[in-house]
Amino acid sequence: LATRPELEDIEASARFFEDDDGLHIHSFFFFEDAEDHAGNSTVAFTIRDGRLFTLRERELPAFRLYRMRARSQSMVDGNAYELLLDLFETKIEQLADEIENIYSDLEQLSRVIMEGHQGDEYDEALSTLAELEDIGWKVRLCLMDTQRALNFLVRKARLPGGQLEQAREILRDIESLLPHNESLFQKVNFLMQAAMGFINIEQNRIIKIFSVVSVVFLPPT
């Protein structure tokens, strides 16, 4: 099984490889902790002798959701590759939900920011905007990492027909999500630029007021 330093490696050769102990994939899974801080945690998968071994450091939403589904849904082929791909499929569904949530939150923030009325609500909107950018970046990283993992699996694993098509379907889902994720960054950047513009306008207005007051109260010469 992988050690902690090996789990933290980001090089493709260290995350996706095959050796005498089996086929190894280290893949990011998205999570939010008790304080709603977003992160990606690496899960190590090893397939050997028809069995799937996993190593992870924390409870992850995708695993929890998959366990709930497994109680009522049976596997089709019942092999290790199907189990791995089912977990990846669940992960991508979770990431799609996160993207939808960010879109919804950005719509709310857009209203606050574009009104330009600065105050506590405005400051909170800017803070939330930065948090959403961070979440969007972690979602993108997870999508791209999963894409690399699936491409490796398709090339190296000699997948059965059903799992090969399943892997390709997940790859198509990722391809469709990446442009949506990119548009989130464009929206965040637009709102950031707009917010900075409103702040500069307000600062200039205040400076002009102080300048007028200073002139009014200048001693006569």
Q: Mean pLDDT over all residues of the chain?
A: 85
Nearest Cα residue to 70 out of 51, 86, 47, 91: 86
Q: What distance in Å separates the CA atoms of residue 80 and residue 18, rounded to the nearest whole number?
A: 15
Residue 14: count other Cβ atoms within 10 Å of its Cβ: 15
Residue 156: count other Cβ atoms within 10 Å of its Cβ: 13
**pLDDT score recorded for residue 124:** 86
**pLDDT score recorded for residue 203:** 56
Does the pLDDT value for residue 214 go beyond 70? no
Residue 91 banded pLDDT, cuts 50, 70, 90: very high
**pLDDT score recorded for residue 87:** 96
Q: Does residue 36 lie in a domain region?
A: yes
Q: Does residue 217 lie in a domain region?
A: no
Q: Does residue 12 lie in a domain region?
A: yes
Residue 10's domain comprises: 4-203
Does the pLDDT value for residue 4 go beyond 80? no
pTM: 0.84
The number of distinct structural domains making up the chain is: 1
Give tens-digit pLDDT for 95-138: 999 999 999 999 988 888 888 677 777 788 888 898 999 999 99
Q: DSSP per residue over 98-142, as a string?
A: HHHHHHHHHHHHHHHHHHT--SHHHHHHHHHHHHHHHHHHHHHHH
Burial label for 110, CB within 10 Å (0-12, 13-18, 19+), is middle
Give tens-digit pLDDT for 148-195: 999 999 998 888 888 999 999 999 999 999 999 999 989 988 888 888
Name 102's bridge partners: none
Please report, for the domain that includes residue 77, its CATH number: 1.20.58
Contacts of 110-119 with CB under 8 Å at 24 or more apart are 110/187, 110/191, 113/191, 113/194, 113/195, 113/198, 114/194, 116/198, 116/201, 118/198, 118/199, 118/202
Q: Does residue 153 lie in a domain region?
A: yes
Q: What distance in Å separates the CA atoms of residue 31 and residue 170, rounded to the nearest whole number?
A: 20
Q: Does residue 219 lie in a domain region?
A: no
